[in-house]
Structure 1
Amino acid sequence: MKNNQIRLAITGINGRMGKNILKILNKKKTNNILLNGVIEHKDSLKKNNKILYKSNFLDIKSNIIDIIDKFDILIDFTNPCSTIKYINICKKYKKKIIIGTTGFTEQQKLIIKEMSKNIAIILSSNFSLGINILLKILENITEILCKNQQINNLDVDIIEKHHKNKVDSPSGTALSLRNTILQTYKKYNFIKKIKCHSIRAADIYGEHNILFSFIGEQLELIHKASNRIPFAIGAIKAAIWINNKKKGIYNMHDVLGI
């Protein structure tokens, strides 16, 4: 293995995010990134047990131990139970992990935080550049509102839309948006609820709308994703960034430097 080579594995390779990350890796002209292993639930392997990567076929495995010596960084967009299983394996074998899974319980979040004492982890509810810029803008707007004592006369609603098969509601991104506002409120000793509204319909990729309602005026922030490519690009960027990290828990603000 070359010293600067980034050896990746992807879980849920037949899922929406797995397919899009693979699409980007197949197009990306970077010699130091190597996809060495792919994982999928065994029931999915009945339909497809190989994927095309560059000009070669990779066998899809149902057991991560089968490829444990072939990768250094795992990209995981699956479900909370599977992610906790994978992160335990990553800790045991000293692998880094990029987590895009959402819907964790508070106990599962504590497990992830504890694991970060031993391995490097990037945990993010959304890997797109646009959403992470939006989070920063939201922090700044809330700061201005708090300084100007506008909170008592303000209603904040977060409306999020996703495809009908998305399980968690509100979305992880909506919760991140809400938490960004609440953390700024807390800094200025304000306590006020923020309402989240979820829509699950058809094949919507993802839309998040933050509506600030004052008396006589509204301020609206919107992010729309037209496909999953921005999330896939962000996940690969995260994997490159974490390559030289030994341990700790990070997010996309760390990766993007914002």
Structure 2
Amino acid sequence: MESTRTRVLVHGASGRMGRALLRLIAADASLELAAAVTGSGAHDLGDVVQLPASRLEDAPDFDVVVDFSLPAGFDAVLALCRQRGRPLVSGTTGLSDAQREALDRAGHELPILWSANFSLGVTVLAELVRRAAAALPGWDCDIVESHHVNKRDAPSGTALMLGESVEAGRGRPPAYASLRAGDIVGEHLVQLASAGERLELVHRATDREIFARGALHAARWIAGETPGRYAMKDCLGLD
């Protein structure tokens, strides 16, 4: 009987997100690890098929790539997907304008999903924020984001993504506030306020593995899609 499991190539497998992806794939009967692609050097990833990035062209067949790597290695994995005609799910940040343009061009040939945040809850929150901002265009809007003390960027990428939802809804951006304390994984509060009332929409992450779970949800979904540029809201059926 032919297997119906989705074969996933993990690019950036030695990083924190990559290791989480390997753990989740191993525990999921609907998924199969095609190979774990790592950077230079030896990596203890357990009993999996490992492949250095320098030999990416030797990768076994796969149904979809899930990429959490660095901009320096992004061009090669996108080229591999184009060569093999396979979908790409990527959370690699810091891409250049040229790399983003290359993603747009590849979307004419392949299913492509890039996101700064793969949390399913944040995806739903962004849609709720857009609708609330559109319904309450005259209200004050603030986004307060909290993260661990070692996070450098402020506002966070997720806060800026939620800000885009606010602007899409009411035509102007919100104000931002950033807190860095302890080991907070991530909290985002979107507050809409007017005289006598206040609406708060909140997402709290307590486990970084939620982002890996969301990326694999996207991988299962996109493996059966036609070429195009997709977002996390598409794989949840949000308009």
Shift of 1:75: 0.5
1:170 alignment counterpart = 155
Over aligned residues, Cα RMSD in angstroms?
2.5
Pairing 1:145-224 to 2, within 5 Å after superposition: 145-146=136-137, 151=138, 154-166=139-151, 168-186=153-171, 192-224=172-204
Work out the CA distance in 2 between the residues paired with 1:83 and 1:93. 16
Alignment deviations for residues 211-245 of structure 1 (CA, whole Å, 9 cap, x no partner): 22324443222111111222211111111111122
1:138 alignment counterpart = 129
Pairing 1:51-90 to 2, within 5 Å after superposition: 51-52=45-46, 56-63=47-54, 65-90=56-81
Work out the CA distance in 1 between the residues paired with 2:83 and 2:152. 29
Q: Alignment partner for residue 126 of structure 1, among 117, 129, 148?
A: 117
1:23 alignment counterpart = 23
TM-score normalised over the length of structure 2: 0.86
Work out the CA distance in 2 between the residues paired with 1:115 and 1:165. 35
Work out the CA distance in 1 between the residues paired with 2:63 and 2:152. 29
| Paired amino acid for 2:92 | T
3-state SS, counterpart of residue 200 of structure 2: strand
Q: Is the 8 A contact 2:64 2:89 kept in 1?
A: yes
TM-score normalised over the length of structure 1: 0.80
Percent identity over the alignment is 32
Q: 1:142 to 1:158 in 2, by over 3 A?
A: same
Q: 1:163 to 1:256 in 2, by over 3 A?
A: same
Shift of 1:140: 1.8
Moved more, 58-67 or 172-181: 58-67
1:189 alignment counterpart = none
Q: Is the 8 A contact 1:37 1:70 kept in 2?
A: no
Q: Is the 8 A contact 1:103 1:172 kept in 2?
A: no
Q: Is the 8 A contact 1:90 1:96 kept in 2?
A: yes
1:241 corresponds to 2:232: no
Report how many residues are paired: 238
Q: Is the 8 A contact 1:39 1:63 kept in 2?
A: no
Shift of 1:58: 2.6
Work out the CA distance in 1 between the residues paired with 2:155 and 2:79. 27
